[in-house]
Structure 1
């Protein structure tokens, strides 16, 4: 029986490389299931001082019984190898094959191959490899086979079963089970170690992430390991956020690797009893993404900011986009939304975006907002349309659209008598970490995100061929936008007020709804100017101290052409962290704080994350608003390049797309562009008409010019900036 169970769990056998890779096959599963399973595994690795720290929200699970099938038309008979994670049966044209076959022979002609897989512990998955019969995302799958058989043995002519395209991460090794997926590691050593008490503290030189390896460990007693993003944290044995204990009894030296990866720069290891250790090193764990985007300029400090931002972002790019590597390591939707945007201007790693969106959404029925946060549900919607805009992947939108509908139905059901959203039991209205930020009543920021999400629903309904949905969501979005300006715009304050309580405007004006209204393009030109003057550039309005919302504030200013101002702000804010010795960017930075105050948060002396994904936003700002590259139709079929030096002498960089990298160099007198994709519009402001060989310069208004950029050509433009 034990051998049979092993056989059922995984069918593996020896076959030649030529047989295995005649055509590329991949492990497949019910869409979203491995994403949900692996996000559960990752998020439940969180510990605080050795205690398990689970998430706050409902965790879904995979479907335990899944049917896979595909029809093939074979020119000749074909041997097909089968690899399965779970208990399974195999059918050809509805006829079951006895046992748990390792391979099958499919005769020439048109045939339907089906596998049904059960697995309670892990995600039911299959890997099918023949010469032309291979498993990939074109297979259809369902978790609910609604077939029935009558008394005569006849199978029903009509089925209520809903089949969807299979999910895949492009896992192409049949010998490695999907449930065993792990990120790669590479060995690294500390740059400095010094004796401390009954052990030592090792400095790895910068913020990093991985598994600590203890070398030459022996004796009887305990080895305590204290991790720190700062030296102060690692030395604080009673207050550091993460730690490990090793109880040992061994006479011979042996190396030990900690079971869970941790974030740290410093590692303080202390011995009790007769325990001794020679040293510690680490196995650096990383996501194998390709660094495609780049930026360099005449400002060395800005270059350092960009490089540290990219390193920060890479550390927080794991199986999914997470918030920070030390504390949570959770898939927070608001954090992930910013990561998607940074990703499009750095790695352009579409699979991680899809994995994160699927993991966040989970399964029906919807019982709460994503992460229990109202604004985070809305960021999830926005992330889907941005994904389509940058990649042009309509199929993913179509596949996830039903999950969009059910989440929006849940949200629509929580409106109050005014047709607006406000706090209800079970909700968390986050917005930002800010002192005295009211969440009472009908907050304008939430209504703004709601309107944008409804617009996204209308756009995605069109992509999913849901004509009724297009009309429904478009109507809702327009009605809500009109209501926002009717109820929240204050002519005397020249801005949207923060909230309404008891059907009346409050006096409070905050930056949040106003800055989003600018880059959502909800304001008239006159309103934009008044908001810029009376809110964004007004020191009387409460300042933002998190990189999270600083990102959006600076984006709004860039959208208003304030790149020179934003450049100074980036240098002051992110440069301020660098001056304090940051090797990655933080969860929060308040220049008014001093010394170890910068390490504290949540009422804990080392509670702050010193490596937080939302701290990496200069990647996006520099790519979109300085190099000036953004798609105007999905997948960069058309796009604009509108360089803005913002006070720099020169800059250069690359922005990735699905079809290659767009390159830009810009100085005050010259612009060079090359692109492998689509049709672009180079927009230039110049005192005189730009000069270029082999292309037409079109004047669109006084001092503004356009040049059409065709793929595969190099352009060199002389202008007077």
Structure 2
């Protein structure tokens, strides 16, 4: 592949800079509504360098975002040269850039010299000159490899980045002399365009995810207010993109307009994965989940498109997992992880939420599993270490975590859910985070990795010493003043199943005493339904989960949902479905965590998941769960794994890696040239080699 110059910058800086722009676009009514956690910024002064060894002189062209200078072998060149002749031989090129408004970045192109990730960067080079003119020792300077995105045009620097838009039109309108109610047919996101605007007076645009919201002057969560003084007709585009299906435009004075359309704003993330099956309702659920995830996949994986439009770690963690089975867009994953982590020093939990700090670590763990990208781990390890060390310093005398002043212990939106004391769910996520640190420490050869592993082992033991109840066959919810409470909730118990922290007997006990027990407080948010259904799938309950998906997500479809919601309570009625946070339309009707069927269907029905990093080895364990047939594509770093499954036949092809197809069959599976291992209890493993199409005949149980 031919080399190509790219705009490059310090790792994470573009992501943090862009997140500041994105997360400060939120409005409530028409007022600016900023985040309530610490916002970091990019480093304003950056040193880029590379050592080259040329067979012959080479001219390079230099562009920079900011004020810059250039050195060749520590010799400062006059001015800010756009073209530099690098002599033959071995030379060190330095470009130092200062920029406050945007991220200091450079674009360098020549015959063999290109700006790419081979360049090293630092925000402090520690270089000075003593009284004799001798340059200082800069061996203590910490360098990282430059980061880059898909910015290959020398005239379009990273600060020019914008999401693409495309024009779209309404499907119906209701017009009166002073109002115009427009329906775009389904949930959407973008900029309203007013065509032929004219007159003198005021115009208000009320946005609604529902018709009721758009018609509620007092209840609509978002709106735009304009004062019009136009003698001649003009077109106008609203300054901020918004979420809506319905738009209600109310004018006074003699303001008029000809028509209304929109510019649909989207992130260009083509689908790589897919799923279809014999159940048409499930296909519709998958399609709406896919659309929901796309709407919430923008510059970053955000929570929802109407209200917050912020980067919440818990929401983003689920989007990452869904993304691995749909778009497999790793750039958006890493951009989101960088933005969430920010810069040192650490002063609070991510988003101020204790569990959200741990979801960030879990996101790192899963990113490595699905991609095998060690480079990202190496670039971020110091940030991981400073964050986990901050958490470790907040442990109590028993080595556990409880909410301290400034901490938000979230877990889930659930009525009456206690956050007091040492909550078992938080200790469980903490243990997984320490396991992540141990894994990553090993990848970067940090000898402290053994200590992280020891802490994780110790914490897992405490989970069962302090929280396991033989009487309740479950982990209890919390300890208060050193004593376990009697309350059992679903959270820690379901996570412990797919984290594989329980033994088989404990898993079966928890399934009956917690997951299938209606006396345990039910979960009403898609956020935690994600994990509840994952735990059941991990226990082989795909038939039960299929019914739950059809009831829960199908219930939203029956109410006319065109994207999936932040919360769904089947017992609500009418416009009561739209209320949340004490506001009649406070609920998001397009929330990323509502799209979890994408992940469940890919990982637990098609049954595809990596066993080792980047799918070098992987498992395919399909489960029809009552479906007659299903087929789909699961993205991997090397391409798609293609799969068709019925009760009698499986067809499978994978592009790379070594796979294990695991099936339950009444009779031994048959196929041409296959290697079958009988695992007992009607379970068989078949080795899958890359590039070959397998046709397996079996009799599903």
How high is the TM-score relative to the length of structure 1? 0.96
Query: How is 1:26-425 mapped onto 2 (pairs within 5 angstroms)?
Result: 26-196=6-176, 198-425=178-405
Give the Cα separation in 2 of the matches to 1:79 and 1:188: 47
Matched, 1:579 2:558: yes
User: How far is 1:592 from its partner?
Assistant: 0.7
Query: How is 1:408-447 mapped onto 2 (pairs within 5 angstroms)?
Result: 408-447=388-427
Indicate conservation of the 8 Å contact 2:126/2:138, yes or no: no
| Counterpart secondary structure, 2:56 | coil
Give the Cα separation in 1 of the matches to 2:428 and 2:676: 39
Indicate conservation of the 8 Å contact 1:46/1:54, yes or no: yes
| Counterpart secondary structure, 1:389 | helix
1:598 aligned to 557, 577, 597, which one?
577
Indicate conservation of the 8 Å contact 1:71/1:111, yes or no: yes
Give the Cα separation in 2 of the matches to 1:260 and 1:688: 61
2:587 maps to 608
| Counterpart secondary structure, 1:335 | helix
1:558 maps to 537
User: How far is 1:22 from its partner?
Assistant: 7.2
1:719 aligned to 692, 698, 701, which one?
698
| Counterpart secondary structure, 2:80 | coil
Using a 3 Å threshold, how does the CA distance of structure 1 residues 432 and 252 change in structure 2: closer, same or farther? same
CA-to-aligned-CA distance 1:589-642 (integer Å, 9 cap, x gap): 010111111000000000000000000000000000000000001000110111
1:527 maps to 506
CA-to-aligned-CA distance 1:103-145 (integer Å, 9 cap, x gap): 1111222111110001112111111111211111111000011
Give the Cα separation in 1 of the matches to 2:696 and 2:253: 72
Give the Cα separation in 2 of the matches to 1:227 and 1:702: 57
Give the Cα separation in 2 of the matches to 1:350 and 1:267: 34
Give the Cα separation in 2 of the matches to 1:543 and 1:349: 34
Matched, 1:544 2:523: yes
1:7 maps to none
User: How far is 1:196 from its partner?
Assistant: 4.1
Indicate conservation of the 8 Å contact 2:403/2:420, yes or no: yes
Indicate conservation of the 8 Å contact 1:683/1:705, yes or no: yes
User: How far is 1:684 from its partner?
Assistant: 1.1
Question: Where does structure 2 lack aligned partners over 5 or more consecutive residues?
Answer: none
Between stretches 128-137 and 692-701, larger displacement belongs to 692-701
Give the Cα separation in 2 of the matches to 1:509 and 1:372: 26
Matched, 1:491 2:438: no
CA-to-aligned-CA distance 1:189-240 (integer Å, 9 cap, x gap): 0111111460211100000000111001011111110000000000111210
Give the Cα separation in 1 of the matches to 2:288 and 2:185: 14
User: How far is 1:579 from its partner?
Assistant: 0.3
Indicate conservation of the 8 Å contact 2:303/2:310, yes or no: yes
Indicate conservation of the 8 Å contact 2:23/2:35, yes or no: yes
Give the Cα separation in 1 of the matches to 2:395 and 2:210: 45
1:11 maps to none
Indicate conservation of the 8 Å contact 1:197/1:270, yes or no: no
Matched, 1:704 2:683: yes
1:648 maps to 627
Count the aligned residue pairs.
700
CA-to-aligned-CA distance 1:416-470 (integer Å, 9 cap, x gap): 1111100100100000000000000110000000011001100010011102x21
Give the Cα separation in 2 of the matches to 1:520 and 1:238: 46
Matched, 1:635 2:614: yes
Give the Cα separation in 1 of the matches to 2:229 and 2:138: 66
Indicate conservation of the 8 Å contact 1:144/1:161, yes or no: yes
Give the Cα separation in 2 of the matches to 1:70 and 1:405: 27
Give the Cα separation in 1 of the matches to 2:195 and 2:10: 43
Give the Cα separation in 2 of the matches to 1:344 and 1:398: 21
Indicate conservation of the 8 Å contact 2:183/2:247, yes or no: yes
User: How far is 1:696 from its partner?
Assistant: 2.1
Question: Where does structure 1 lack aligned partners over 5 or more consecutive residues?
Answer: 1-20
Give the Cα separation in 2 of the matches to 1:170 and 1:217: 38
User: How far is 1:388 from its partner?
Assistant: 0.5
Give the Cα separation in 1 of the matches to 2:371 and 2:424: 31
Give the Cα separation in 2 of the matches to 1:108 and 1:268: 67
How high is the TM-score relative to the length of structure 2? 0.99
Between stretches 704-713 and 377-386, larger displacement belongs to 704-713
User: How far is 1:157 from its partner?
Assistant: 3.9
Give the Cα separation in 2 of the matches to 1:650 and 1:157: 67
Give the Cα separation in 2 of the matches to 1:23 and 1:663: 32
Indicate conservation of the 8 Å contact 1:224/1:245, yes or no: yes
| Counterpart secondary structure, 1:104 | strand
CA-to-aligned-CA distance 1:263-283 (integer Å, 9 cap, x gap): 000011111111101111111
Matched, 1:568 2:524: no
2:665 maps to 686
Give the Cα separation in 1 of the matches to 2:470 and 2:359: 29
1:508 maps to 487
Give the Cα separation in 1 of the matches to 2:268 and 2:481: 52
Indicate conservation of the 8 Å contact 1:147/1:159, yes or no: no
User: How far is 1:153 from its partner?
Assistant: 0.4
Give the Cα separation in 1 of the matches to 2:433 and 2:137: 40
Between stretches 687-696 and 660-669, larger displacement belongs to 687-696
Indicate conservation of the 8 Å contact 2:5/2:114, yes or no: yes
2:428 aligned to 448, 457, 464, which one?
448
Give the Cα separation in 2 of the matches to 1:107 and 1:204: 61
Give the Cα separation in 2 of the matches to 1:665 and 1:657: 17
1:480 maps to 459
CA-to-aligned-CA distance 1:663-712 (integer Å, 9 cap, x gap): 10000000000111111111111111111012222222241111111111
Give the Cα separation in 1 of the matches to 2:177 and 2:287: 36
Indicate conservation of the 8 Å contact 2:125/2:138, yes or no: no
CA-to-aligned-CA distance 1:28-52 (integer Å, 9 cap, x gap): 1111111000000000000011100
Give the Cα separation in 1 of the matches to 2:473 and 2:380: 40
Give the Cα separation in 1 of the matches to 2:176 and 2:385: 58
